[in-house]
Structure 1
Amino acid sequence: MAQTPESLTEQMLDAARKAGADAADAMVAGGTSVSIEVRDGKLEQAERSEGMDLGLRVLIGKRQANVSISDARPESIAMMAERAVAMAKEAPEDPYAGLAEPAQLAPAPDIAALELCDPTAEPSPSALQDDAWAAEAAAMAVEGVTQVQSATGAYSHSTVHLAASNGFSGGYARSSRAIYATAIAGTGEAMERDYEGDSRIFQSDLRGATEIGTIAGQRAVERLHARKPETGAFPVLFDERISSSLIGHLLAACNGAMVARGSSWLREKLGQQVLPETLSLIEDPLRPRVSGSRPFDAEGLATAKRAVVDKGVLTGWTLDLANARKLGMASTGNAARGISSPPSPSSWNISLTQGSQSREDMIRDMGRGLVVTSLIGSTINPNTGDYSRGASGFWVENGEIAYPVNECTIASNLHDMLRHIVPANDARAYLSRVVPSLLVEGMTLAGN
């Protein structure tokens, strides 16, 4: 009889008990991924991977260890458990390590309601190749595009099951269908590149390959003849394509592991204003058909909708069990883990309050400044929030886009930037991070 992810986790827990573990949790992750890449109308690369990985965490008192394997034979599982117990006995004590109490565990979730997996059949390699070809052809049809660096059609299907000695057992499947294209415009040292792509759980939601290729081509052409902007203090509009990176810095500073280590620039800001009072930042891991959704976290706790920032005020940290214990708080159900690593805090689906103006309205009203469409490198001080990044995009003059720019640096401090951001209304609702274009007044630009 074929082994299921659920039966494999039970085998690992049984092996851990026999090896002498006081407590344990086990995870099985497996799946299939297919990627077809074309170039110059020919097949460039075809990849398919299939596999299953097993991970076991054991606890001996307050000592813990993690071991992972890709061999599901009973003798390999037994050896894995023995090795994990031996490692745990030699590990340093962690007073905050431990599984969830049974009363903390998630009830049986309605996984079907989350629509995490497309029930339609896996697309054939030829169908993925056709999408890649269509995206490449559409990009090449844009005047000014000289080549397409890559065009890809991809599909993946994965399953995960988690079980623990505290009685928890649960799992689910995910699927993903994607199309990407990267176009190049110009020649020689004047070449510019840009991209477009789409990834959805359900194939029926995926945007067309022609649309994706056309947008990639248009974006590459728009970047031709770029120059450096002026040096000075100007308003900067973070385009919706990259605006979520700003919110990502806030989320990283809200991570309980960072706070517990004392290395977060928000560590003294709990209960204080960190965004404009008109904005809230909502986490909702139960949104249907969204890649960041999940019915329970990596410690078996129920996930739930919560306000990370409520009307501008920071309401709490993102916590797993261990960091919650360190801080004297309760877990927020945000534990994530890999096969070979213990749980740590992570954010799920995030939505920022949208504004009333369109991106075009904001460009018109900013008068003179920079629209950033691409960020390069990163110098973020996690303790102070000092921010400096390379950027490229478009210079705005008299409320209109005047010319493309590159090779500039934008700098400020995240405290000041986030407290005064102004959102547009152009966020894409189907993304895991729903963040519109964001205007930041008075950033320092280093260009000419």
Structure 2
Amino acid sequence: MTALAEDDPVVTTPSGEVRGRVHRDGGVVEFLGMRYARAARFAAPTPEPAWTGVRDARSPAPQCPQLASRMDEIAGPSNAADLGQDEDCLHVTVRAPRDVGPDERLPVMVWIHGGAYVIGGVDLAWYDTARLVTEGRVVTVSVGYRLGILGWLRAPGVSEGNLGLADLAAALRWTRDHVAAFGGDPAAVTLVGESAGAHAIACLMSSPPLRGLFHRVILQSGQLGLGLGTERSAARVAGFVREALDEIAGPGADPRTVGIDDLLEAQKRAIVRHAGPGGINSAPAFTPVAGVTPLVGVSAADPWVAAAHAGHPMIIGTTADEALTFVRIAPGLRRLEQRFPTAVRLGAGLATHRIFAAPAQRLATRAAAAGATVSTYRFTWSAPESGLGACHAIELPFLFGGREAWQDAPMLAGASWDRDVEPLGRDLRRWWLDFVRGTRQVSSRASASR
């Protein structure tokens, strides 16, 4: 490490020097949007080569190209428009204590964002990790990866599929090789992910060659009940994409060369067709596919057996009302709720159990039986005026603790940041950080509420 205490800190990594900046809270330094790999469209990632001189790491990374999101109806406004979008999206952001010593090796938290594998970004303000760095004295690595059609299309001759997982594996290798330069311990890496991020962690756990790249895991609200894609479902989606591109860009249009707007429009049409009449098929169109590298040998019929035997200490859990987020953001379900509120709420409860809670408990039970140290939680707090209960993503403001980023979230309506969010957030961060440091397990049946 070099001169982390300066206003524009410079760090010497194994690949070259990078210049970061001091976070606005003053006690944290951050290195934004560092490229960990490069990848042509539908190609495997290749590590970023070494460079000479000092690279600038003071600007946030662009998001992977994606369609508009409705998550602002749950999480409030974001800075997504400021970040922009670019297919060159394989970046990490690292934060560390400003006063980290030259010989310190701090625990590392790797954050993998969610978004149904189709939305999200490494530098969204929602996911600012500065509070975790300050309160836990850890180093954080936030990872960007390819989304939607770019990351998850499987079409032989075009894309082998599971490129998003290949990206995450490349980011973990980068972390192993580079995080010590920022004061992190590559032998003490905890993966933390929510929603698709948690699902992706379970996929990484399922691949024996990748297990040594991380040492603990925290899985928040993973949609494990949706399982994995199959060769059949992937081929069906690829057919939808091909037909859509023929309509949009002309017969025989090549997804490797068409404009990104055309590709995203094809993604949109494929998602609609995959969902079927009334959108009743809840399985994502673009998702990891069983049997495809790095999930070789993993069966879609019972996908999490290998993950259960990975051996990593684990925290896993869900919120009490996961599915209410999707009722709010899906126009059809929202209209149905207005007409049949009781029936829709009952259906949401069933979906929460089948897609989130029961599969999480099943993975926890199997992992514990296989000898892993496992803790479970259920997040039950809800805001008094949101109408969303303890919905999907409700724990994120408490985990990251960024008042400016989260205080206008509809899912927090009627709550006091100082009386409600801040006290429980401190507790949640302490539980997670103690686990990351290996100093304490949370209760096997913890319920996060006040």
Q: Report the TM-score, using the length of structure 2 for normalisation.
A: 0.23
Between structures 1 and 2, the one with greater strand share: 1
